[in-house]
Amino acid sequence: MIPYSRQTLSETDVHVVMDALHSDWITQGPWVERFEQKLAEVCGARFAVAVSSGTAALHLACLAAGIGEGDTVVVPTLTFVASANCVLYCGGRPALLDISPDTLNLDVGALQALFRKDKGLKAVIPVHFGGLPCQMQSIVHLARERGVVVIEDACHALGARWNDDSGVWHRVGSCSHSDMACFSFHPVKHITTGEGGAVLTNHEHLYCKLKTLRSHGIVKDPRELKAGSGHWYYEMRMLGFNYRITDFQCALGFSQLNHLSEWVARRRLIAAQYRSAFGDAPWIRCQREPDGFESSYHLMVIQVEKRDAFYKRLREKGFGVQVHYIPVHLQPYYQQQFGWRADDLPRATAYYQKAISLPLFPTLTDEEVGSVIAAVKQTAQELGVG
């Protein structure tokens, strides 16, 4: 079975981890800061805080932004549940938003309408679906006018970039148009640390708060404590968590970052092969990548009729296709707690009924891509949709 995604680990990656394990540190050693610095540099942000998962990154970003009891935060419904759950962890309420049917990212028109209707919004969490950057210029413009915090869920988009109105390129993670950006290093993502995540920001006060929240809300640095206290002295200043990542995981992340641009280039090449094979066919729909936007292609999603049968047949043929995602407003928990119904956000619901993710990862060979394309075309004929 060819999976929809898988990690890539080189011998060098393994050696770097072995070296880290042989050092004096297991957790919070020198590799954590090395990884953070390199990640910040690769993305073009001032600061990075590495944590135990992408979900932990989102939770801490929400806390650092001051999201609390009763605050409303806009989240697109087409995403992994963690993008919305992080708001609930803080006592806030996610306001789910529909998507643009072509880019599959949050609908900026709907965001504008929501901003007009609901004056008390606290934050917005744009998700760069499949690796395609959102229209950050428009989003930030709307948010800034109203003092709304912008937290990018960039878990799909390490290595993606976009071009602004004056022709300047912006890397996702640079936070040029947001307060914070969150990444995940789960094995299906662009680089992996096993489990892991990070928050990037250009604001020093957010950076300090994120670091404190990562480790129980405790401050230990003598420079930040009142003079004359003992060497053992520490202060818990806010309610934090243990969201630390280990030193050997960060050694792996550091080594993996060396491959990032090569892997993103390969992902984009594979996506281009899929696109040119399916491009003109009326029975299949691919995510639109507008001019000036370069997706880092975490996912290659297509939309087809008779999705369930399509999915079943591709699996039987040995292709580990997946569905990304069941929209958040269709999840039983969200329906029961907040009364969401399928037709409240009709475009995401319609997308979900047709969506399939095809295999896409850097070590997928051209032959394998060819076999996926052939299987998709053959299945469409078998089912009478192509």
Stretch that binds ligand PLP, among 69-77, 152-160, 224-232, 254-262 (CB under 6 A): 152-160
**Helices 366-382 and 260-278, packing angle to 10 deg:** 30
Q: How far apart are CA 134 and CA 326, in angstroms?
A: 20
What type of residue is 266? Answer: R
Stretch that binds ligand PLP, among 49-57, 98-106, 302-310, 366-374 (CB under 6 A): 49-57
Q: Using CB under 6 A, which residues numbered 207 to 266 contact ligand PLP?
A: none
311 near ligand PLP, judged by CB under 6 A: no
CB nearer to ligand PLP: give 259 or 298. Answer: 298
117-to-112, 114, 186 alpha-carbon distances in Å: 9, 5, 37
Shortest CB 30 distance to ligand PLP, Å: 23
103 near ligand PLP, judged by CB under 6 A: no
CB nearer to ligand PLP: give 152 or 313. Answer: 152
CB nearer to ligand PLP: give 60 or 271. Answer: 60
Runs of H (alpha helix) within 90-217: 108-117, 136-145, 204-214
Q: Could you tell me which of 191, 196, 168 has the C-alpha nearest to residue 261?
A: 191
Among 45, 47, 55, 108, the residue binding ligand PLP under the rule CB under 6 A is: 55
Structural contact between residues 364 and 116, judged by C-beta atoms closer than 8 angstroms: no
Nearest residue to ligand PLP, scored by beta-carbon proximity: 54
Q: How far apart are CA 178 and CA 136, in angstroms?
A: 8
Among 71, 152, 153, 179, the residue binding ligand PLP under the rule CB under 6 A is: 153
Structural contact between residues 46 and 201, judged by C-beta atoms closer than 8 angstroms: yes
Stretch that binds ligand PLP, among 50-58, 106-114, 223-231, 340-348 (CB under 6 A): 50-58
Q: Cα angle vertex 182, ends 181, 188, to 5°?
A: 135
Among 36, 45, 51, 54, the residue binding ligand PLP under the rule CB under 6 A is: 54
Stretch that binds ligand PLP, among 23-31, 70-78, 150-158, 331-339 (CB under 6 A): 150-158
CB nearer to ligand PLP: give 79 or 287. Answer: 79
CB nearer to ligand PLP: give 197 or 240. Answer: 197
193-to-131, 148, 215, 308 alpha-carbon distances in Å: 19, 32, 19, 33
**Helices 54-64 and 204-214, packing angle to 10 deg:** 120
CB nearer to ligand PLP: give 198 or 376. Answer: 198
197 near ligand PLP, judged by CB under 6 A: yes
CB nearer to ligand PLP: give 108 or 157. Answer: 157
155 near ligand PLP, judged by CB under 6 A: yes
* Residue 46 neighbours by CB under 8 Å, 6+ apart: 40, 201, 202, 204, 207
CB nearer to ligand PLP: give 32 or 375. Answer: 32
CB nearer to ligand PLP: give 149 or 376. Answer: 149
79 near ligand PLP, judged by CB under 6 A: yes
82 near ligand PLP, judged by CB under 6 A: yes
Q: How far apart are CA 379 and CA 373, in angstroms?
A: 10
What type of residue is 133? Answer: P
133 near ligand PLP, judged by CB under 6 A: no
Residue 54 burial (10 A CB sphere; 0-12, 13-18, 19+): buried
Total chain residues near ligand PLP (CB under 6 A):
14
Structural contact between residues 123 and 74, judged by C-beta atoms closer than 8 angstroms: yes
Give the residues lining the site for ligand PLP (CB under 6 A): 53-55, 79-80, 82-83, 127, 153, 155-156, 184, 186, 197
